[in-house]
């Protein structure tokens, strides 16, 4: 009998070996797992990159809230260092003090008296000393019985630069009213002299003069006095002056001397220039009563 098995085997064609389908399936699954692991790792960063590359927005980008702003740090307190001379006790040999100054010139003071009806002379050099400038007013009444005649003498004295040295008034047997108070026309002289320097701390002086009482006030270098003469009860003397007496006042005066600094403008001139010409004078600027009474 012929060998059919060998002949049948010999008739089969020779070809490539076949790969089972299971192998391809396992390979596909393995590659998918690897690609999925790569794409999904690192918070799906690679998947987002690939989708963005191909124009797909598979996973919208998360909108992250901005980080909270840091609270501002409090500003450190300011520090400063005081110079040593501020906290050291003052040295007596170099200490100064407050010192009053004239706020009006001699010429302006004389003009203010004339505007009030006290006919003083012009501010000019004195006959006995060319370095001394002054203006004055003098009036004398009639002599009555054994009494000295009533008289008024006013003088404002200073230097060529216009700085006032002192102001003096002497009245003898002045007129008074039924209450024993000084005649308003004469009192007007003291009102002008006390008001023009613009020193507002001498509150009792004018009231004492009005009642013919002695008074003396001092403050920051200024000295004001109104006294009755002992030997002549009807005579009164008024003085107003600036005199640096203590060492500290002298140091202050020397430091602020006009030889070192430019002079201040006259405040009276600034006030006059600021006022319109059409403004009428106040009633207080009328002539004093004494000017009309004593000249006749």
Q: State pLDDT tens for residues 260-285.
A: 777 666 555 555 555 544 433 444 44
- The backbone torsions φ and ψ at residue 138, rounded to the nearest 5 degrees and listed phi first, read -140, 135
Report the alpha-carbon distance of residue 292 to residue 169 in Å, rounded: 19
65-76 residues labelled b (16+ CB within 10 A) or e (exposed): eeeeeeeeeeee
Structure tokens at 123: 């501010």
* Bridge partners, residue 51, by sequence: none
Question: What local confidence, expressed as pLDDT, does residue 45 receive?
Answer: 67
Which range among 3-12, 68-77, 173-182 shows the weakest confidence by mean pLDDT? 3-12
The two three-digit tokens of residue 43, written as one number: 């918070």
| pLDDT confidence band for 28 (50 / 70 / 90) | confident
What are the C-alpha distances in Å from 84 to residues 80, 90, 213? 12, 11, 50
Give Cα separations from 126 to 102, 121, 159 (angstroms). Answer: 21, 11, 10
pLDDT band at 293 (very low <50, low <70, confident <90, very high): very low
pLDDT of residue 52: 67
What are the backbone dihedrals phi and psi of residue 232, each rounded to the nearest 5 degrees, phi first? -125, 90
pLDDT digits (tens, 9 = 90+) for 39-58: 666 666 666 776 666 666 66
User: Is the pLDDT confidence value at 108 over 70?
Assistant: yes
Q: Is the pLDDT reported for residue 109 higher than 50?
A: yes
Contacts of 104 (CB under 8 A, 6+ apart): 112, 164, 196, 197, 198, 266, 267, 268
Kindly state the average pLDDT of the residues 213-231.
88
Percent of the chain with pLDDT over 70: 65
**For the residues of 68-88, what is the DSSP string, one character each?**
PPPPPPPPPPP-----HHHHS
- Given a contact cutoff of 8 angstroms between Cβ atoms, the answer to whether 252 and 238 are in contact is no
| Other CB atoms within 10 Å distance of the CB of residue 217 | 17
Q: In the structure encoding, which two tokens stand for residue 188, read together?
A: 């007007």
Q: Would you give the distance in Å from CA 5 to the centre of its chain?
A: 131
Mean pLDDT of 142-152: 79
User: Quick check: 155 and 139 in contact, CB under 8 A?
Assistant: no
Q: At what angle do helices 267-274 and 106-115 cross, to 10 degrees?
A: 50
Q: Is 161 exposed, middle or buried (0-12, 13-18, 19+ CB in 10 A)?
A: exposed
């Amino acid at each position: 009998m012929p060998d059919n098995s060998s002949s049948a085997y010999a008739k089969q064609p020779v070809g490539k070996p076949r790969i089972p389908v299971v192998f391809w399936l396992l390979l596909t699954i393995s590659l998918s797992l690897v690609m999925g692991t790569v794409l999904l790792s690192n918070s799906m960063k690679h998947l987002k990159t690939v989708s963005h590359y191909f124009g797909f927005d598979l996973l919208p980008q998360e909108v992250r809230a901005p980080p909270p702003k840091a609270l501002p740090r409090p500003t450190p307190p300011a520090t400063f260092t005081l110079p040593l001379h501020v906290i050291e006790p003052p040295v007596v040999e170099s200490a100064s003090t407050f010192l009053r100054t004239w706020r009006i010139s001699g010429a302006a003071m004389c003009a203010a008296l004339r505007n009030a009806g006290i006919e003083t002379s012009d501010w000019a050099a004195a006959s006995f000393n060319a370095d001394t400038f002054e203006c004055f007013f003098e009036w004398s009444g009639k002599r009555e019985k054994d009494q000295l005649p009533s008289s008024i003498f006013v003088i404002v004295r200073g230097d060529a630069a216009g700085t006032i040295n002192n102001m003096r008034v002497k009245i003898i047997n002045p007129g008074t009213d039924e209450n024993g108070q000084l005649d308003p026309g004469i009192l007007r002289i003291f009102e002008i002299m006390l008001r023009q320097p613009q020193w507002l701390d001498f509150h009792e002086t004018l009231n004492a003069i009005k009642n013919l009482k002695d008074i003396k006030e001092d403050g920051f270098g200024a000295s004001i006095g109104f006294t009755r003469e002992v030997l002549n009860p009807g005579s009164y003397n008024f003085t107003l002056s600036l005199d640096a007496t203590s060492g500290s006042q002298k140091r202050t005066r020397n430091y602020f001397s006009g030889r070192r600094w430019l002079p201040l403008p006259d405040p009276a001139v600034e006030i006059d220039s600021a006022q319109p010409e059409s403004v009428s004078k106040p009633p207080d600027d009328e002539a004093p009563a004494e000017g009309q009474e004593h000249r006749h």
